[in-house]
Chain A
Amino acid sequence: MDNKDYKEYTAADFLDDPDFLLWCLDPDKREDLFWSEFPANHPETYAEFRKAVQTVGSVRLNNFTLEEGEKAELYDGIMSDYRTLCTRRLLLRRKLFALAAAAAVAAGLVVPALLGVFRPTAETDTSPARASEIRLISGRQSEHIASESASIECAPSGEVRINGRTVASAKPARMNRLVVPEGKRADITLSDGSRVWINSGSVFTFPAAFGEGERRVSIEGELYIDVTPDPERPFIVHNAFFDTRVLGTSFDVNAYADSDRPASVVLVHGAVEITTGDGEQVQLESNDMFSLKAGNYTVVKVDPSQYVSWKDGLFIFSSGALERVIGQIAAYYRVEIVCDPDVRELCCSGKLVLFDDLSDTLDVLSDILPINCRTEQRPDGTRVVRITARTN
């Protein structure tokens, strides 16, 4: 196989190569140095090689599943049989123990349940999610939007409508600022038809209507954008760390100024070019995630749905560690969350609805995972959530 000419190899050719397939199936990947070192030795076919690796990566063996309803029914059956079994055992035991012992067990169960009910209400009032409203600032005018989320439309004429109500007819070129506080979301249809979703804790700057040349907006925080293609007017999303230039595409920009996390772009489809502060240019393909931290960037393949699902008010996870899920929740609600080492690696899959109140979201999380979430107030007034293994 070493004599083969790989220069003209396409992804399909790789997939027809049993040697290549075997290498992909080999769990340890070290048997065959030829393929492990292939990308380094054949940079000219790297794109096709990577495509083939991805295709084989999506191969599933015996991927049979029970239907959701069927699975739940089966579980109920197990639990009901188990309860029957327990009752039988309990009846046996009752004959041996005094009644007082049973009463003590019952009391022990009631107290934590009451504590559980009273705890969440206490923290609702101090939640920063309720502290301020979404604001649209245009020149000296400032519109407050009381609802949990805002839907804003900009007509090409410069007319701005919030939740269907016309609020301003500004000069088209004037820049507007949309401030979205913690725990809230907004979406905007720009004058060219591009759709933008703004995540919580973000500031988005945009003109009421775009002019002839470049379409330019900027973000501090996180946005997801679906850009209307227009080859004449390139679209540029600016942030403090880099510029993202596009022709027509959907992607997510994450650039919180005060965050420890790297600033990033996740490209859902299309093509974008990023220019970093140092003038370096990076081109992304679909499913690429670009991250920039301390002047160094990386590009990796990701499942974009996990990064952009916040725009629909939920997070989607596929077997992610709890630690990562918590990281995203912490960023979304802008609170500090400390995770016990015991539970960090718990595996989470599925969708998590993001409620306006952090405590509601945490309640759901602790319903589905064997964890306890406790919110504490620090002496300096900041909140910290502690997550520990449930041990009851």
Chain B
Amino acid sequence: MKHDRIIGRQFLGGNDDVCVYLYNSYADQLYAYGCGLGFDRETLKDAIHDVFLNLLARRRELGGVKNIRSYLFRAFYNRLIDFKRHECDTTELTPQLDLRITVSFADSLIDTEQAARLKTMLEHMLNELSPMQKSAIYMRYMYEMEYAEIAEILDVTPHAVRKFVSKGLGKLRSNKERLLLLALLSTLTA
């Protein structure tokens, strides 16, 4: 993601066109992430609006930002937490947001029965993990983010992210007998 750093530098240095580029590159990623966190369309659009407006307005103060994408994801997550807090009317705790994983296929040529089977299996597998494990695997797999980048978003150390990924996959490995059964079941009910 070297080019993102370059873009980030240009943007923070005051290039407005880069905002179009950042928006086109990341609005959908933020939206998809927010959907997984369980927010509705309009709330997500509000959060994207606030995050980008804030980025534009405050960019001269953001010299310390190393990676613009992880900054955007983190700011977006915080904004959603704000919304949630407002909604629940609680102030004492930071609400925990779970990430739900929904599987789809980029290639429409895949056999529908096989796709349905694979979808059931993968969704069961992934949704059994902890929110942190899921988030780390999701960001790594979908956006090829570096561990350091994910660490900034989840507000943990890169080492911890590495652990989330390997522990998550390890947990799934130990559960695999059950998964096999699940695959069989999904064939029977299909």
Contacts and interface: CB of A to CB of B under 8 A. Distances in A.
Interface of A: 12, 15-16, 18-19, 21-22, 25-28, 31, 54-56, 58-66, 70-71, 74-75, 77-78, 81-82, 85, 321, 342-343, 345-347, 368-370, 389-392
Given A60-B142, A61-B126, A62-B36, A18 B180 contact: yes
Contacts of A59: 103-106, 118, 122
Contacts of B21: 368-370
A390 B15 contact: yes
Interface string B84-127: 00000000000000001111111100100010011001100110
Interface in B1-25: 2-3, 6-7, 10, 15, 17-18, 20-21, 23, 25
Given A78-B56, A391-B15, A64 B35 contact: yes
B23 A63 contact: no
Which 7 A-B pairs have CB atoms at the shortest separation, nearest pair first?
A58-B107, A345-B3, A18-B176, A64-B35, A62-B36, A27-B140, A58-B106
A47 to B, nearest CB: 16
Interface residues of B, number: 57
A321 B35 CA distance: 28
B8 to A, nearest CB: 12
Q: Which label, helix, strand, loop or mixed, suits the secondary structure of the B interface?
A: helix
Contact of A78 (B2, B33, B53): B53
Contacts of A65: 28, 31-32
Contacts, number: 150
A313 to B, nearest CB: 23
B56 A82 contact: yes
B83 interface: no
Given A18-B176, A370-B18, A27 B110 contact: no
A31 B166 contact: yes
Interface of B: 2-3, 6-7, 10, 15, 17-18, 20-21, 23, 25, 27-28, 31-33, 35-36, 45, 48-49, 52-53, 56-57, 100-107, 110, 114, 117-118, 121-122, 125-126, 137-138, 140-142, 144, 165-166, 169, 172-173, 176, 179-180, 183
Given A369-B21, A370-B21, A389-B6, A78 B179 contact: no
A25 B169 contact: yes
Contacts of A54: 107
A64 B32 contact: yes
Contacts of A70: 45
A347 to B, nearest CB: 6
